Structure 1
Amino acid sequence: MSNMSETKNTQVGFVLGLTGGIATGKSTAAAVFQQYGFPVIDADQVAREVVEPDTPGLQALVQAFGKEILQKDGQLDRQKLGQLIFGSATAREQLNQVLDPFIRGKITEEIVKNKATHPLVIVDIPLLFEGHYDAQMDAVAVVYIPESQQIDRLMARNQLTKQEAEQRVKSQLSIEEKKRRADIVFDNRQTKEDLSDEIKKWLSFNRFL
């Protein structure tokens, strides 16, 4: 972490990729950074914005999947799109290929804009490693809990059976692999307050506070 302070001293915005697994507490961590006034670029929000009516992203989706994915008011019918790609790995891959340039382009644009005015920029991306976004980050932080705890939390949060929760967890890169690849690990095995304290310590150590 010593190189963090050196980067901070250059007065150039430091870009921290924030990721984790499903139900590990990534959104909670992102909210802590926001509380301290650091901008958080939310990849899920960007993914929604690039398919709003009359956007090139939505037009590209219509070209790929047909006009039946639109509602009468021109909005994306997410339910119909979901039905088209449900159970089809090929269709899901096609969806990712169509939207990736728009999502990646918008995230890059937001990074450049925020770096100019903030010492630290957080980029919240659930599939950061899977999408190879780590190359765009100065460092990557993973919000970590063990897989067994991940499954328990997901069952409680989404009212899922153990089998359903395990399926969702296994569909992502394992949390242990993400932890192995991380530059920084925020341990979320305890309370939200403990996670918040850990992030505050990291910010203070690297002189962002």
Structure 2
Amino acid sequence: MGGSEIKKRVIGLTGNSGSGKSSAAAYLEELGAYVIDADRIAREISDTGKAGALAVRDAFGEVFFRADGSLDRHKLGEYVFSRPAELKRLNEVLHPLIIKEVKERMGAATGTVVLDCALLVDVGLTALTGEVWLIAAGQDSKIDRIKKRDGIGHEHARNRLLSQLDEEKMRKYADVVIENNGTLEELKKQVREQFYGQSK
């Protein structure tokens, strides 16, 4: 790839919200991988005074900020996930900042790197990886997990899911598909088998 050889194994870990992707990422970290969490980066750059928060204020105004100057992510999420054009606008503001940080962390990492990103395919980050793993799950399971995890209603959870690339389309990009419709232990077993089975 290009003029330099990639010495490390880079796994792109993706899946719709509520698929169990974060549980898989946490377990890969336990197995010794260095995990770069794109969602966490998005939150970090959106902290008060950081580049993401300033960019959101410039694009959307003060309406999504609290009195103390912090970004109200819940309010912003509810707004954009029911308005595709506004979600696209938000992504255009934040994605370049997130990708820059991802590349910096990836460059500094050694060993096996896992890029944990729900929008891995959507934003073209598959180009930075050597293999793509998809955590797949049934639609009802995903909606239930989103509701429990984020404390939001069914409609908000459904809109969040609908804003992401359809799982069937994501399967076309995946080198590994892990079906997560069972227990956490069953998920871990599949992750472990893929991690050790292809790393030798």
User: Could you report, residue by residue, the CA deviation over 1:46-81 in whole angstroms, capped at 9, with x for unpaired residues?
Assistant: 001111222222222222122343333332233554
Match of 2:165, SS?
coil
The equivalent of 1:151 in structure 2 is: 140
**Cα distance between partner residues in 2 of 1:85 and 1:156:** 20
The equivalent of 1:70 in structure 2 is: 65
**Counterparts of 1:1-209 in structure 2 under 5 Å?**
12-79=7-74, 81-82=76-77, 85=80, 87-114=82-109, 117=110, 119-145=111-137, 149-155=138-144, 158=147, 168-207=160-199
Change over 3 Å in CA distance of 1:49–1:29 after alignment to 2: same
Report if the CA contact (8 A) 2:81-2:163 is conserved: no
Q: Alignment RMSD, CA only?
A: 2.7
Matched AA of 2:190: E
**Cα distance between partner residues in 2 of 1:11 and 1:167:** 38
TM-score when normalising by structure 2 = 0.81
How many equivalent pairs are there?
Answer: 192
Report if the CA contact (8 A) 2:81-2:156 is conserved: no
TM-score when normalising by structure 1 = 0.78
**Cα distance between partner residues in 1 of 2:156 and 2:83:** 18
Alpha-carbon deviation of 1:43?
0.9
**Cα distance between partner residues in 1 of 2:64 and 2:43:** 15
Alpha-carbon deviation of 1:28?
1.5
**Cα distance between partner residues in 2 of 1:79 and 1:153:** 19
Matched AA of 2:177: V
Alpha-carbon deviation of 1:105?
0.6
Report if the CA contact (8 A) 1:68-1:80 is conserved: no
**Cα distance between partner residues in 2 of 1:184 and 1:63:** 40
Matched AA of 1:197: K
Report if the CA contact (8 A) 1:53-1:75 is conserved: yes
Change over 3 Å in CA distance of 1:96–1:171 after alignment to 2: closer
Match of 2:68, SS?
coil
Change over 3 Å in CA distance of 1:69–1:11 after alignment to 2: closer
Alpha-carbon deviation of 1:99?
0.9
**Cα distance between partner residues in 2 of 1:79 and 1:174:** 23
Unpaired stretches in structure 1, ≥5 consecutive residues? 1-9
Structure with higher Rg: it is: 1
Alpha-carbon deviation of 1:106?
0.8
Report % sequence identity: 32
Match of 2:172, SS?
helix
